[in-house]
Amino acid sequence: MQTQKILLWAQWKRFLDYVYWVRKGVLAAWQGAVSCRNTYSIACKRNGFKLHTQLGMIFNKLSRICMKRILLSLAFVCFAFPAPSLCPGQEPPESVPDAQPGGRESRMDPRWPPLIARLVADGMDKERMGQVFSEPALPWSPVFMAAKVQELYGSRLGAGAHIKATPGRDDPRPRGYTPPASSGMEGARELLKEYAPLLAEVYKRYGTPPSLIAAVLLLESNMGHELGGRLALQALASMAATLTLEQALSGLEGYKQPQPALRKDMEKSIRDRSAWAYRELCALIRYCETGGIDMLRVPGSVYGAIGLCQFMPSNVSPYGVDSDNKGVVDLFALPDAAHSVGNFLKSHGFSEKLPIKKQLEVLLRYNNSGSYAALVLGMSYQLAGKRVPAELGMFAYGGPRKAWWPKTRPGYRLPTLGAYRIN
């Protein structure tokens, strides 16, 4: 049934395209004929029989050309357009996944075929997309968009609102992956000692202090120990395929129904987030296909960030660095991840000579959270053995809320360091 609907929809759209172009051709031919006739009539009245004969020949030739265009357009519709029905024994078109019982489509989530059609239209390989999205490890889930809804509107959905369990592959990891250091602050100090030559090279090339690289990796992925509990592909594809508020709210439990004014705002936000996720999904697929990476083994955050440095896929192309010249930017390898962080910060204007406020503004380009920027910079000072500036430590470590706060929304809660608390 699903296959028949997709087939009929695709054929009907194709028919409408043909009608549009035929109508356009007929109108152009008719307008040309009318224009020639009018010009012919006026000229004959002014210039007599000789011009009448010449214009008559021209008019006849143009009429024949216009009629040929009309006939060719009609022939194109008759011979190129198939009957808009699925006859017994008819093979499905190439753009639709296998429809045989027990085939790929029978295992595929019904929300994936429209998304696959968009990806194929944007240049992705249709057979490869059919194989990937029919994998049991890649179910659609509303919890990824629900997480964003809860982040943006949590206080208005009630204190009891919480995200449901996420289906899919648990804790996926690239083959042969091992974290570069231990977790926590001790792991960050271990990283600074064991990889001092690498971090010195990054500092020389990009001007990013080793302690800041370690702080970013610590806060983003806990030195590679927390890469995300689900596939980045599942997160981005699920958000891209989540188009309505009802779909997003199905990933939450214990929430209050939003008021009409809030619903309108939430629906617009979901559409915007879905479009953003689709762009990131395309970037992720291109990154994996270009580098020969198995996209079904790429873990990511709830929003699809990947690697030790938790880059969004669209940042890999402009800022990712292949430091070892292997032909691929491997963000799960420390050399590429460290160079990529340094390149990102340098590209956005980071320098040790900048005032603290300007440094925080650059870090906000990495993660748009004032507490995140302050915490990273404060950890960087601590890892370098320097005293944390008072204006930074006042709020980075649980101080007064009235302290200066760089570009964050009102009411943002201060972070708790937990395992990362600095004494």
Contacts of 101 (CB under 8 A, 6+ apart): none
At 257, the pLDDT band (50, 70, 90 cuts) reads confident
Looking up tokens 């936000």 gives 269
- CATH code assigned at 219: 1.10.530
Q: Which residues of 251-354 form beta strands (DSSP E)? A: 252-253, 299-300
Instruction: Looking at the structure, tell me whether residues 352 and 400 fall in a common domain.
Output: yes
Token pair for 125: 């390989």
Single residue among 278, 302, 326 that ends a domain in this structure: 302
Token pair for 418: 């937990």
Give tens-digit pLDDT for 68-80. 565 555 555 444 5
Give tens-digit pLDDT for 259-285. 888 999 999 999 999 999 999 999 999
Instruction: Looking at the structure, tell me whether residues 254 and 150 fall in a common domain.
Output: yes
- Among 214, 225, 228, 241, CA closest to 306: 228
Structure letter (DSSP) for residue 311: B
Q: Which structural domain, as residue segments, surrounds residue 73?
A: 1-82
Give percent above pLDDT 90 in the chain: 48
Average pLDDT of the chain to the nearest whole number: 77
Is 96 within a domain?
A: no
In 122-195, where does DSSP find H-type helix? 126-133, 143-153, 184-194
Instruction: Looking at the structure, tell me whether residues 278 and 370 fall in a common domain.
Output: no
Report helix, strand or coil for 230: strand
Per the structure, how many domains does the chain have?
3
Instruction: Looking at the structure, tell me whether residues 404 and 345 fall in a common domain.
Output: yes
Is 97 within a domain?
A: no
Instruction: Looking at the structure, tell me whether residues 211 and 184 fall in a common domain.
Output: yes
